[in-house]
Amino acid sequence: MTKYGFIGTGNMAKAMIQGLLKSGVQATDILVSSPRSASKLADTWGVLALSPQALIDESNVVVLAFLPNQLTRITNELHFDQQLIISVLAGISLSELQEATHSTEIVRTLPNVNVAINQGLIAFASGQLMAPNAQLFGQFTEKLGESTDLSEDQFTIFSAIAGSGPAFVFKYIKALSQAGINNGLSEEVATNIATKTVLGSAMMLASSDATAQELEDKVASPGGSTRAGLDDLDAENFDDAVKHAIKATMQHKHL
């Protein structure tokens, strides 16, 4: 049985672990290591807490999920054999990862939080992996959602759209929902309507051959109320506001 080890058990590791558990991986096949929260996670989720080296020795897949600036301090004391290593460390290049781990069986990834419900998007870049590890990586990402092979210079834009994007979508849902509340709906009803509208529209686009623009035009008949709303969004420079937000996200430096 494949054993999945996580070094670092913060927000991203927890999201991935939730996704693995939901996909049917047994809690006892998930190993965790971190100075403070790993043992709590073992108590609550039934995963196993180990020292980092014991975790590496026991795992087929080791996920590096601590903060990017901790890389060399943590890996200096560790020895990797030929396990598959998956890094989620934002801003750390494949060559930096290979140097720090003394391994080429490593994949640089950037997952988004939707991995927690098996609907994640995972960008990845790797060198030539051994065949069993390439297979393991495919199985790992399939459990969590969808993966996309990108060049490393595309990670920043991927991060802005897919990594930060969920927050932008939540903000949009909140604004839609608030408009409902302002017009007499209860918070619960308004939030449900806004959430399901975004969810259904995204599913409609994902399952259609039409472009987003074509579907937009289908909903908005000329001279109709939706067209009036879209014209207002254009007048308020909605597209520019989104582009500016993406630019600000891309220009922000990682700590």
Ligand X SMILES: NC(=O)c1ccc[n+]([C@@H]2O[C@H](COP(=O)([O-])OP(=O)(O)OC[C@H]3O[C@@H](n4cnc5c(N)ncnc54)[C@H](OP(=O)(O)O)[C@@H]3O)[C@@H](O)[C@H]2O)c1
Give the footprint of ligand X on this chain (CB under 6 A): 7-13, 33-38, 65-68, 70, 74, 88-90, 110-111, 113, 163
Q: For residues 145 and 117, give the distance between their C-alpha atoms in angstroms, rounded to a whole number.
A: 8
CA 213 to chain centre: 26
Question: CA quadruple 241, 172, 112, 77: dihedral positive or negative?
Answer: positive
The least distance separating ligand X from the CB of residue 222, rounded to whole angstroms, comes to 41
223 belongs to an annotated ligand binding site = no
Residue 238 is assigned to a ligand binding site: no
**CB closer to ligand X, 97 vs 136:** 97
Residue 103 pairs in a beta bridge with none
Does residue 51 contact residue 59 with C-beta atoms inside 8 Å?
A: no
Q: Quick one: 2 or 164, whose CB is closer to ligand X?
A: 164
CB of residue 34 vs ligand X: minimum separation in angstroms? 3
What contacts 24+ positions apart, CB below 8 Å, involve 95-104? 96/71, 97/64, 97/71, 98/127, 100/71, 100/72, 100/75, 100/76, 101/75, 104/128, 104/129
| Least distance to ligand X, CB of residue 113, Å | 5
Least separation, in Å, of the C-beta of 127 and ligand X? Answer: 20
Closer residue to ligand X (CB): 38 or 136 = 38
Nearer to ligand X, 33 or 101 (CB): 33
Give residue number: closest CB to ligand X: 10
Closest approach, Cβ 36 to ligand X, in A, equals 3
Is 12 known as a binding-site position? Answer: yes
Distance of closest approach, residue 53 Cβ to ligand X, in angstroms: 11
Residue 100 among known ligand-binding residues: no
Q: Determine whether the annotation assigns residue 8 to a binding site.
A: yes
Q: Does the annotation list 229 as a binding residue?
A: no
Of the pair 67, 242, the CB lying nearest ligand X is at 67
Residue 140 marked in a binding site: no
Exposure string for 89-113, b = 16+ CB within 10 A, e = fewer: bbebebebbbebbebbbbbbbbbbb
By beta-carbon proximity to ligand X, the closer residue of 38 and 97 is 38
Is residue 15 a known part of a binding site? no
> Residue for token digits 């790993």?
38
Distance CA 101, CA 108 (A): 12
Which residues carry a binding-site annotation? 7-12, 65-68
Which residues carry a binding-site annotation for NADP(+)? 7-12, 65-68
